[in-house]
Amino acid sequence: MNSVQSGLSRTLAPKGIHGHVMGDLGRGIVSGALPENSILPRDAELQQRYGVSRTVLREALKTLAAKGLIQPKAKIGTRVVPRDGWNLFDPDILQWHADTGVVDAQFLFNLQEMRLALEPEAAALAALRRTDAQVGELYHWVDLMGAAGITGNDFVQHDLHLHICVAEASGNPFMRAISALIEVALVATFTVSSPIPNTERHKLSVQRHRDIARAIEDRDPQAARTAMRRVIQEGIDRVSVETGRKPEDRS
């Protein structure tokens, strides 16, 4: 499998004409249709293509520049910045990767490695700082994940809500800010290999997430850290099996 079409169900807030222009150009850059180091068409051509004013176009280009995707060059034009200069944490850029089907196995492994670096610590902090209400919310999402006859889409949405709840319970706003990264990783992982409708895999996944909730309830940061790491690692292992790739494979 060369790419993962994640089909995110999240709907970004409407952004009007400016958002349409920004999104179309952003997807073109992320997909490679507008290659790195290439020069975008001149403003007049883009205005005609999208049927927008110069003001709208310039605002869209300004937003893309703030995301690290493009860079205006005097007397040359607007250059597409190489990928290593992009803000890959930006929710729009993550969404565009999913929209254009360029979430391949290696990109997904990279996302999961970031989750391993951040989410176990978020779970440990949540175990120290959580409220009773947050514990109740964690178990609420676990119970929904375990419902009989659940669809794959509902499962991943409940899973996402659980992970966001953990981030919120950590008390660290930066943990909550990575929700877009978690969503792309979750949806893409479950597209490659979902526990639904495999009954045994479904039960195991629910139990693994219940372990996270229980450790946070018990105020046991090490157990919470370990339980979260196990959940993420099992997702990596499923992708490895289904794609025949390993995280260390960079070719």
Q: Is the pLDDT of residue 2 over 50?
A: no
Residue 1 in this model has a pLDDT that exceeds 50: no
Q: What are phi and psi of 200, to 5 degrees?
A: -65, -40
> Residues of CATH 1.20.120.530 domain(s) within the chain?
104-243
Mean pLDDT across the stretch 150-173? 95
* pLDDT band per the 50, 70, 90 thresholds, residue 15: low
**φ and ψ at 166, to 5 degrees?**
-60, -45
Burial class (CB in 10 A: 0-12, 13-18, 19+), 88: middle
Asked: is 16-85 a CATH 1.20.810.10 domain? The reply is: no
For residue 37, which amino acid is it?
N
CATH architecture of the domain formed by 104-243: Up-down Bundle (1.20)
Residues spanned by CATH 1.10.10.10 within the chain? 16-85
Report the pLDDT value the prediction gives residue 30, as an integer from 0 to 100: 95
Q: Which percentage of the chain shows pLDDT scores above 70? A: 93
Helices (H), 130-220: 132-145, 152-169, 173-176, 179-192, 199-217
Lowest mean per-residue pLDDT among 11-15, 40-44, 56-60, 79-83: 11-15
77-80 vs 70-73, strand pairing mode: antiparallel
Q: Which residue type sits at 178?
A: I
Structure tokens at 218: 């018990």
pLDDT of 212-234, one tens digit each?
Answer: 999 999 999 999 999 999 999 99
Q: Which of 141, 143, 180, 138 is nearest to 157 (CA)?
A: 141
The pTM for the full model equals 0.82
Confidence of residue 98 (pLDDT cuts 50, 70, 90): confident
% of the chain surpassing 90 pLDDT: 67
The pLDDT assigned to 224 comes to: 98
Q: How far is the C-alpha of 70 from the C-alpha of 62, rounded, in Å?
A: 9
Instruction: Give CA torsion, residues 182, 186, 187, 188, to 10 deg.
Output: 100
149: tokens are: 């006859």
Phi-psi region of 130 (alpha: psi -120 to 50; beta: other; left: phi over 0): beta
pLDDT at 70 over 90: yes
Phi, psi of 100 (to 5 degrees): -95, 0
